[in-house]
Structure 1
């Protein structure tokens, strides 16, 4: 998105993909991170 960085850990299998964990940058201030919370151009 243009507002968040989203990271996911996934597992792929023939039966279908499974998202094991996901983190969004808007959650990071809870852990003391104050900078780098928006998306960056490639």
Structure 2
């Protein structure tokens, strides 16, 4: 999105992809991450 960074850990299979974990950047300060919450270049 234009406001948040979305991170996902996924598992791919023939039957379909499975999202194992996901987090938005605005949630990360609750887990101790306070810097680097804006979009990064690839």
Aligned residues: 42
Q: Runs of 5+ in structure 2 lacking a partner?
A: none
TM-score, normalising length: structure 2: 0.72
TM-score, normalising length: structure 1: 0.72
What do you get for the CA RMSD once the two structures are aligned?
1.6
Indicate conservation of the 8 Å contact 1:2/1:38, yes or no. no
Q: Runs of 5+ in structure 1 lacking a partner?
A: none
* Structure 1 stretches of at least 4 aligned residues deviating more than 4 Å after TM superposition: none
Question: Could you report, residue by residue, the CA deviation over 1:1-42 in whole angstroms, capped at 9, with x for unpaired residues?
Answer: 111111100000010000000011000222343332222455
Higher relative contact order (Cα pairs below 8 Å, separated by 6+ residues): 1
